[in-house]
Amino acid sequence: MYGGYVSLPLNLLAQDAQLDHVLAHSGLRLAFADAEHAPRLAARLAAARLPVELFAIEVDAPSLFLPGRLPEPRLAALRETDPALLMYTSGTTGRPKGCLLTQRNVVSGALFVQQAHALTAADRVLSSLPLYHINGQIVATVGPLAHGGSVVAPHRFSVSEFWDLLERHRCTWFNVVPTIISYLLATTDAAGRDLSRVRFGRSASAPLPPELHRAFESKFGLSIIETMGMTETAAPVFSNPLDPARRKIGSVGWPVGNRGRVRRADGVACAVGEIGEIQVKGDNVMREYFRDPGETARAFTADGWLRTGDLGYVDGDGAFFVTGRLKEIIIKGGENIAPREIDDVLHAHPAVLEAAVIGVPDRHYGQDIAAYVVFKPGSRASEAELKAFCEVKLGRYKTPRTFRFLQDLPKGPSGKVQRLKLLEL
Look up the CATH architecture of domain 100-326: 3-Layer(aba) Sandwich (3.40)
**CB contact burial 212-233 (16+ within 10 A = b; e otherwise):** bbebbbeebebbbbbbbbbbbb
Distance between CA atoms of residues 18 and 8, nearest Å: 14
The band of 415, judged by pLDDT with boundaries at 50, 70 and 90, is confident
Mean pLDDT of 163-170: 98
> E strand or H helix at 362, and its extent?
strand 352-362
Decide: helix, strand or coil at residue 338. Answer: coil
Asked if 386 and 346 touch (Cβ cutoff 8 Å), the reply is yes
Distance between CA atoms of residues 263 and 276, nearest Å: 5
- Helix crossing, 16-26 with 38-48: angle to 10°? 70
- The strand order across the sheet containing 306-314 reads 259-263, 276-281, 306-314, 320-325
Arithmetic mean of pLDDT over the chain? 92
Q: What percent of the chain has pLDDT over 70?
A: 97
The band of 67, judged by pLDDT with boundaries at 50, 70 and 90, is low
The band of 69, judged by pLDDT with boundaries at 50, 70 and 90, is low
pLDDT at residue 93 tops 70: no
Residue 82's pLDDT is 95
Residue 169's pLDDT is 98
What phi and psi, each to the nearest 5 degrees, are found at residue 343?
A: -55, -45
Q: Domain spans of the chain?
A: 16-78, 100-326, 330-424
Decide: helix, strand or coil at residue 314. Answer: strand
Would you state the torsion angle of the CA atoms of residues 44, 45, 48, 49, taken in this order, to the nearest 10 degrees? -150
pLDDT tens by residue, 152-166: 999 889 999 999 999
Asked if 341 and 400 touch (Cβ cutoff 8 Å), the reply is no
Look up the CATH architecture of domain 330-424: 2-Layer Sandwich (3.30)
Residue 96's pLDDT is 84
Question: Does 100-326 match 330-424 in CATH topology?
Answer: no
pLDDT tens by residue, 203-231: 998 889 899 999 999 999 999 999 999 99
Q: Which of 71-75, 125-129, 182-186, 234-238 has the lowest mean pLDDT?
A: 71-75
